[in-house]
Structure 1
Amino acid sequence: MPDIAQGPQIPDAGYALEEIADGIFWIGDGSYQTMFVVSDEGVIAVDAPPTLGHNILRAISTVTRKPITEVVYSHHHSDHCGAMSIYPEGVPRYAHRATAQRLELLGDPHRPRATHVFDHTATIEAGDHTLEMRYPGPNHSEGNSFIHAPGQRVLMLVDVIFPGWVPFSNLALSAFVPGFVSVTEQALSYDFEHLVGGHVTRPGTRHDVHVQVEYLADLKATTESALSAVDLAATMSSIDTGNNWAVFRAYLDAVAAQATDELVPRWKDRLGGADVFTLPNAWAMAETLRLDLNSLGPFGTVP
């Protein structure tokens, strides 16, 4: 693994805890991560990955005896919020409207309903800390929002930036890939020194965002070239061309494979998992190029 993918050793307690800025604590288990804010008034807890679960409360208790006063959902996915029921009942729970609607539909007792719902922005003023939430439009999921502590220069953006690693499979299983790419770039418009990405081994930095922007640009350009450069005759030579799904599957797999063959040598020593998830990321990029961005290749010629 490249050095950039390495993170802190996880103690026997099952989690690592680090104060990344004044009163802002990062907690991670080597795969999932989140943060909490200790203000003059209490604790603002953001998300609750089930793999961390009650270790979040244990971590909070090691640094303060103040109560949890607010809870924030980054988005609705259970791998990040499936243990939100550990937090006290009756505290305000913030979420974007799309997230709140999905929580209502799912009815999961471990993901209690939001009490404070916002459409564009929301702000929590808590003594010496301010936490600003902003929804940039659909990206990894509808409702997935920026969470920014401007005074401490900390940014949280979950399932979009993967510090030291390529994005998870199929561009993080994103609901809207152009939005996923856009918010990666938008992150650089924030004033931050530390980034909490929700996944993998360590907190992030601005440099990590720049590297992911570069990876995505390379992925897009290489995959777009492959859409028209694949040898279609050779690809279809062993396919029953009367089977439409077989034709599309062979073509899209060939595009992803050609892009991956070019990309992996450039990235395997720069980002963790480039050899694992570049293939499905190229597949997802090919589909968004065809369907969202109108780079249709041989199957999309306009008559």
Structure 2
Amino acid sequence: MTSTTNRRSFLAAGAAVAAAPVVAGALASPASADELPDYAPVPPSALGPAVNAQGYFVGRVQKNLYWVTDSTYQAAFLTTKDGVVLFDAPPSIGQNIQRAIDQIAAENGVSNKVTHLVYSHHHADHLGASSLFGKHVTRIGHTENKRLLARDNDPTRPVPDVTFETRRTLHVGGERIELAYHGTNHTPDNIYIHFPDHDTLMLVDVMLPGWVPFDFFNINEDVPGSIAAPAKAMAYPWKHYIGGHIGRLGTRQDMTVYRQYIDDIVAGVKLALVNVDPTPFFVKYGNNAWAAVKEYQAAQVKYASDPVIKKYLGVLAAADVYTATTTFLILESIRLDLGVGSQVHP
């Protein structure tokens, strides 16, 4: 009776804890800069131009194609005789997008009116300022982009007026832009935006020039598709690259370094799946399967990522910040999507 009562009390207490609301910050003390971890310095080659007093930089990519950044996000725009074609509208840049367009228009005596807005993909961090440009702008995106934005029902990201399935050539004011969909990568709707007359490719959230990917491999929804995307990008002729993030434009050499970085992670993961012995982790944690798996995979990630971090410190910014989480996601994809390391019980 005592054992049953104790067990019931334990379960009741556990249920009470699980049901209690978690109050964010209730037990947290303010962070101190002295207590935060140190990371390797950012290589100067990863940094872009300084922003102005209003918080943006706008510069020419080639001819009448321009880019604007707040040093974390990027958009692009093309001035034409019939108006401006804008490519993405990150909310972090926000009203500075129009200020940048106004600046270039004033300097060159061209129209500052945005007539078209091309969506790279549906994520709010790249489109959340779309509504600033009103209802009379023609918005263009992939068919899946329209479906996802209709699902999200976000008034800051109106659904595209014009969609396409695989390819569309956009002609505005005597200018030509080639839009293409080559399958899922970062998202199911992420497109390749090629400016053949400006030697430029825009492909957002795949390669971030001079930097490693953001946390967990840019939170890519399709890991194999994202690993394959750079080769598809390199098949285009281009000199300048707009990646949607961080403070500078990219080059073909940047893409080459990025591809090698990912290849090195993949190679390390394949070795880790073979060489890291799971036995001690399951012996240690017994029937706590999640603890055993967590520590086993942490060991695999460390095995695969440590040599990559060492190799790319000083080459790619934040190699010591996000390489491990990117390695984890790639490990899971190689294990689950490709079946590497999978064993059939005899």
TM superposition score normalised by structure 1: 0.95
Q: 2: CA distance between counterparts of 1:250 and 1:181?
A: 26
Distance apart, 1:235 and its partner CA: 3.5
Offset from partner CA, 1:18-67 (integer Å, 9 cap, x none): 11111111101111111011112210011111110010001111112342
Offset from partner CA, 1:51-93 (integer Å, 9 cap, x none): 1001000111111234211111100000111111011312211
Stretches of structure 1 lacking an aligned partner (at least 5 in a row): none
Stretches of structure 2 lacking an aligned partner (at least 5 in a row): 1-41, 106-110
Amino acid at match of 1:281: T
Contact 1:236 1:250 (8 Å CA) reproduced: no
Per the alignment, residue 19 of structure 1 pairs with: 60
* Counterpart mapping for 1:188-199 below 5 A: 188-199=234-245
Aligned length: 300
Q: 1: CA distance between counterparts of 2:161 and 2:324?
A: 41
Per the alignment, residue 104 of structure 1 pairs with: 150
Distance apart, 1:237 and its partner CA: 4.4
Distance apart, 1:294 and its partner CA: 1.1
* Counterpart mapping for 1:1-40 below 5 A: 1-40=42-81
Contact 2:115 2:136 (8 Å CA) reproduced: no
Offset from partner CA, 1:128-152 (integer Å, 9 cap, x none): 3211111111100000000011011
Amino acid at match of 2:47: Q
Contact 1:170 1:284 (8 Å CA) reproduced: yes
Offset from partner CA, 1:144-198 (integer Å, 9 cap, x none): 0000110111110000011000111111100100100111121111111111101
Query: Is it true that 1:291 corresponds to 2:336 in the alignment?
Result: yes
Contact 2:261 2:308 (8 Å CA) reproduced: no
Identity %: 36
Q: 1: CA distance between counterparts of 2:216 and 2:344?
A: 26
Per the alignment, residue 222 of structure 1 pairs with: 268
Q: 1: CA distance between counterparts of 2:63 and 2:78?
A: 9
Per the alignment, residue 261 of structure 1 pairs with: 306
Contact 2:284 2:292 (8 Å CA) reproduced: no
Q: 2: CA distance between counterparts of 1:247 and 1:265?
A: 27
Q: 2: CA distance between counterparts of 1:95 and 1:178?
A: 23
Q: 2: CA distance between counterparts of 1:63 and 1:90?
A: 22
Query: Is it true that 1:62 corresponds to 2:115 in the alignment?
Result: no
Query: Is it true that 1:135 corresponds to 2:178 in the alignment?
Result: no
Per the alignment, residue 270 of structure 1 pairs with: 315
Distance apart, 1:302 and its partner CA: 6.0
Q: 2: CA distance between counterparts of 1:271 and 1:242?
A: 41
Aligned Cα root-mean-square deviation (Å): 1.3
Contact 1:268 1:275 (8 Å CA) reproduced: yes
Per the alignment, residue 35 of structure 2 pairs with: none
Q: 2: CA distance between counterparts of 1:11 and 1:66?
A: 20
